Amino acid sequence: MAIASLPGSTTPRLFVSAAAMLGLVAAAVVATTASAGEPSPLAIEVLGPAAPHAFDGSLAELPLAKKWKPGDPIRVVMAPGEGHQHPSQGDKPAIRASGSGLVSALDQGSTAVSAAATPSASANFDGIDFTGYLPPDTVGDVGPNHYVQMVNSQIAVFSKSGSTLLTPRDISSLWSPSSVCGQEDQGDPVVVYDQYAERWVVSQFNWPDDSEDGPFYLCIAVSKTSDPIAGGWWAYGFRTSVLPDYPKYGVWRDAYYVGTNEPDEAVVAAYAVDRKAMLAGQSASGIRAPLPRLPGNTFQTLLPVDADGPTLPPAGSPGLFMRHVDGEVHGGADRLEIYTLTTDFTAAARASFSHLGDVALASFDSELCASGICIEQPGTSQTLDPLADMLMNRLQYRNLGSREAIVGNFTVDADGQGHAGIRWFELTRSGGAWSIRQQGTHAPDNANRWTGSIAMDKVGDIALGYSVSSPSNERNILPQIRYVAREAKDGNNSLSKTEVTVISSAAPQPEDAGYRWGDYAAMNVDPVDDCTFWFTTEYVGADGWWKTRIVSFVYPSCLSGSGGGDDDEGDSGGCFRSAAGGGLASSPAWQLDLGLLAIVAFLGTAISRAQRRRETP
């Protein structure tokens, strides 16, 4: 995203839990085929090879990042020539009327409530403060001894108790100062810990500050050891044909996979770079596989699946990418589209990118309001972007032995009145096709919840972190950081009835800071115990500018070994149909008895949406 300079400067909703669960199960057994006219992947391109720059010193020896002070320029991270654009939202109000409407549980699939309490925070401390960039793009990950956090333009390292081990440095200082990657900090940082190699991977995109025409680069640095401060780095710059906007990363067996938004060519793209070569500090190649974006919106992405836990994906598994599709907007059923990228860095012609198939989801509505900027705050007319157009960071993968699992989340209209809630889901696969194991929409009241990140620990407990806000005429909540969780033994499709508030903002985000929030957050699991969750995102300080927070928490039952549940108990099964039109893969036989229920869910969805369309002013 290019950088532009600016002047220096209550009514709770009613839920019918039983009906909600029926809706979720019914949606899980509706098969989805490829929609008519669904876009096909385009030609694959080769990147590189790129030779690394060896950084052999300590990050502590680098110059400190400049601390922003009032009067300094404010830089807005955005795509060259355009900001985030949203599709026309039809008859949705510009901003919803206050109050709350009764939504069909079959339509929205609201989350059931578990009696189990969400664990309280262990570590809870501030991360990097405002850098002069909007938004922060807060991200982090945890390793054996460090927590590495990045925001737009800066990187810092903390101990697990919250001590600062490395004060903020410019991200670009890892690269050669003579390279494009070493000259600018254009934004969209990412950090992931590759626990299989015990290495850190950090990235941002870059191009010369005096040119919006490129050349564009994915700047990727891989640590030489598990020590991110003094262990050294291999720093790569992969030149790309277009701006690789909003890059998100996934660790996999054979490659580091990257998903991007590329508005200049009206595509989203899947990338892979040679993990083995980069870990060895050798010249490395990459591939780029574009896919036409969905119509009507320039801000979309493919999200790669990111592996966690001690066991790698099965040998030969291709990289996985997904996007969610609102069928009412784009046609077909509400669904997840799954794509595979098979790499061959020795012979790029053998690489392939294909649409694996779709997984049906319980009905959801991604259109919160006509403007697309719908999150209200108390004390200001400035609304915030719910980022409902994409799956949120990360799609976390686990190989559990008897099965594979993926958890993810995205923002939806939770009640038909424009209140943002978080649709979360778990996919499962046991040697066959991917299917829905459980899903729900987390919206226990009419406050807005958005910018989520989700992860699963080694026994199957799931944690979801997010932002919360509500205007003064409803719940009067300044933006907060919260999280909620569930134990593996809880009933499927349920989250705890208790949310934990990490910290509340001291002020609303003002008009000077604009509508951008996030653009993403990060929930990760400590590789040492494979139990402790770590979450980071933004909040607002008393001066109106963003700050960041880092929090950890854990289920004691995971640490003691008494946690977990029957992986097969409560599976909602789900259905999957190959994009090539192969046979329907569905688990247990009782799904066949739910055909009538699936029809009821479909009719309930259609009636509910039609009624909302008629009643919306």
Cβ atoms of residues 196 and 254 within 8 Å: no
Closest Cα to residue 314, out of 396, 401, 394, 195? Answer: 401
Q: Which residues have CB under 8 Å from 213's CB, separation 6+?
A: none
Structure-model confidence comparison of residues 87 and 218, the more confident one: 218
Peptide bond into 228 cis (omega under 30): no
Name which residue leads in pLDDT, 569 or 209.
Answer: 209
pLDDT tens readout for residues 91-138: 455 554 433 322 333 234 456 776 678 999 999 999 999 999 999 999
pLDDT of 299 > 90? The answer is no
pLDDT value for 210: 76
> What integer pLDDT is reported at residue 115 of this predicted model?
65
pLDDT in tens, 438-447: 999 999 999 9
Specify the pLDDT at position 349. 81
Secondary structure letter of residue 150 according to DSSP: E
| More reliable by pLDDT, 339 or 371 | 339
- The per-residue pLDDT for 23 is 36
- Say yes or no to pLDDT of 263 above 80: yes
Q: 421: part of which helix (H) or strand (E)? A: strand 420-429
Q: How confident is the model at residue 483 (pLDDT cuts 50, 70, 90)?
A: very high
Q: Which of 82-103 are b and which e, b meaning 16 or more Cβ less than 10 Å from the residue's Cβ?
A: ebbebbebeebbebbeeebbeb
Model pLDDT, residue 38: 59
Q: Which of 299, 313, 244, 315 is nearest to 273 (CA)?
A: 244
pTM: 0.85
* Mean pLDDT in residue range 76-102: 46
Nearest to 185 by CA among 199, 175, 200, 198: 175
Please answer whether residues 95 and 383 qualify as being in contact, where contact means their C-beta atoms are separated by less than 8 angstroms. yes
Pick the range with the lowest mean pLDDT from 148-157, 339-348, 417-426.
Answer: 339-348
Does residue 149 have a pLDDT over 60?
yes
Task: Kindly indicate the confidence band of residue 511, based on its pLDDT and cuts at 50, 70 and 90.
Answer: very high
CA angle 258/261/267 to nearest 5° reads: 110
pLDDT over threshold 60, residue 613 = no
Q: Which of 15-19, 282-286, 377-381 has the lowest mean pLDDT?
A: 15-19
With CA atoms as reference, report the closest residue to 275 among 303, 257, 261, 255.
255
Two tokens, residue 350: 């053998």
Task: Give 39's pLDDT tier (boundaries 50, 70, 90).
Answer: low
Question: Is 595's pLDDT higher than 90?
Answer: no
Whether the predicted pLDDT of 579 surpasses 80: no
pLDDT above 80 for 232: yes
Average pLDDT value over all residues in the chain: 84
Of 72, 97, 121, the C-alpha closest to 11 is 97
Higher pLDDT: 220 or 89? It is: 220
